[in-house]
Amino acid sequence: MVKYIVKRILFGVLTAFVVATLTFFIMNLVPGGPFLSEKAVTPQAQAAMEAKYGLDKPLFVQYLTYMGDILHGDMGMSLKKRGFTVNDIIRNKFPVSARLGLLAVLVSVLIGVPLGSVAAYNRGKAVDNVIIVFSTAGIAIPTFLSSTLMMYFFSVKLKILPSLGLQTPASYIMPVLALSLYPASYIARLMRSSMLDVIGQDYMRTARAKGVSTFKSIFKHALRNAILPVVTYLGPLLAYLMTGSFIVEKIFTIPGLGSEFVAAIPSRDYPLIMGTTIFLACLIIMMNVLVDIAYAFIDPRIKLK
């Protein structure tokens, strides 16, 4: 067990390192630097700027310096937002994205798991068909469509929900719903098929034969086994929500890390791009490792290798 966990963590660290290296070199492939777009910069001034940020050194030296700094938790200064370090920006913006993402995870699980179970228990009946239709439609709608359509109906037409920012609790409704539509539908489908599997198992029949109530058999026997595939999906789900939030943050003008990342790319704010990518990547990798380990604890049948 310990060996497995250590192995998993080491592998996560390796992946994080690969991501950091990839991002660094991919970004430096772009011709032109971050200071080219500004007007009226003399060559001397530009050279001075580049020297200040260490951009005049050979690429490999830059790479080593950067990796060294990152290991000390220093992601450098933003090139475009003068006076802000990347750490500051992440510290300010990440909580916004995280709150939104976690709420969306919660909502998707709370919607998806019951819907999937209900569908499985009523297999072939009208309820099942309705849930199947909705969950199939739900995974065919990209986030940007659900957000824009919701915005049109609730903000523009009915004027009952605010369309911008996150000032009031009501303004969370649309972004969170838009983010959870796809995962909730996916979880419902996942839950339905694994629940069907579990219902057919012998121990369910035994439980019923022993006189266990329907309620208890669902919660004590079926749900605990059927929820395993959903647990595996939670890791990628978090990844999806962190990245899906680029769109939602753009549409609802939410000052989160996603919109910061998207804005940093065209302006070539190298340290900010690197910082956000590595930060989000590490977060996602960490979530995956945690889910893998949690999975082994939840289901003792899984042999750890």
Partner 1 sequence: MDVKKNPLSLQLNVDDFVPATADEKESLVVMRESVGFWKDGFRRFRKNKIAMAAFTVVMIIMVLAFIVPAFYPYAYEEQMKGSERLGIMEYSAKELQMMEAGESVFPHFLGTDQNGRDYTIRVLVGARVSMTVGIVASLLILIIGSVYGAVAGYFGGKTDMVMMRIVDVLYTIPDVLIIILLAQVLKFPLQNLAAVPGFGWITALGPNMVSMFLVFALLYWVGMARIVRGQIMVLKQNEYVTAAKALGATNGRIIKKHLITNCIGTLIVTTTLQIPSSIFTESFLSFLGLGVQAPMPSLGSLASNALNGLQTYPEKLFAPAFMIFIIILSFNLLGDGLRDAFDPKMKK
Residue number with CB closer to partner 1 (134 or 212): 134
Site residues (vs partner 1, CB under 8 A): 11-12, 14-15, 18-19, 22-23, 26-27, 29-32, 136-137, 139-145, 148-149, 151-152, 156, 193, 239, 242-243, 246-247, 250-251, 261-262, 265-266, 273, 277, 280-281, 284-285, 288
Nearer to partner 1, 207 or 264 (CB): 264
Distance of alpha carbon 134 from alpha carbon 188, whole angstroms: 10
Q: Retrieve residue 54's tokens.
A: 């260490």
Work out how close the CB of 29 gets to partner 1 at its nearest, in angstroms, rounded to a whole number.
5
Q: Answer whether 158's CB lies under 8 Å from 86's CB.
A: no
Report the residue number, 204 or 262, with the smaller CB distance to partner 1.
Answer: 262
Smallest separation, CB 280 to partner 1 (Å): 6
Q: How far is the CB of 212 from partner 1 (least distance, A)?
A: 27
Question: Is residue 139 helix, strand or coil?
Answer: coil
Judge contact between 144 and 178, C-beta under 8 A: no
Q: How far is the CB of 6 from partner 1 (least distance, A)?
A: 16
| Comparison of 109 and 278: residue with beta carbon closer to partner 1 | 278
Biggest CA–CA distance in the chain, Å, is 86
Question: What b-and-e string marks burial along 122-151, b requiring 16 or more CB atoms within 10 Å of the CB?
Answer: eeeeeebeebeeebeebeeeebeebbeebb
SS3 at position 111: helix
The distance of closest approach from Cβ of residue 156 to partner 1 in the complex, given in angstroms and rounded to an integer, is 6
**First CA to last CA distance, the chain:** 8
Is the CB of residue 267 less than 8 Å from the CB of residue 81? no
Of 78 and 147, nearer to partner 1 (C-beta) is: 147
Give the residue with the Cβ less far from partner 1, 55 or 285.
285
The amino acid occupying position 151 is M
Question: What is the smallest separation between the CB atom of 247 and partner 1, expressed in angstroms?
Answer: 6
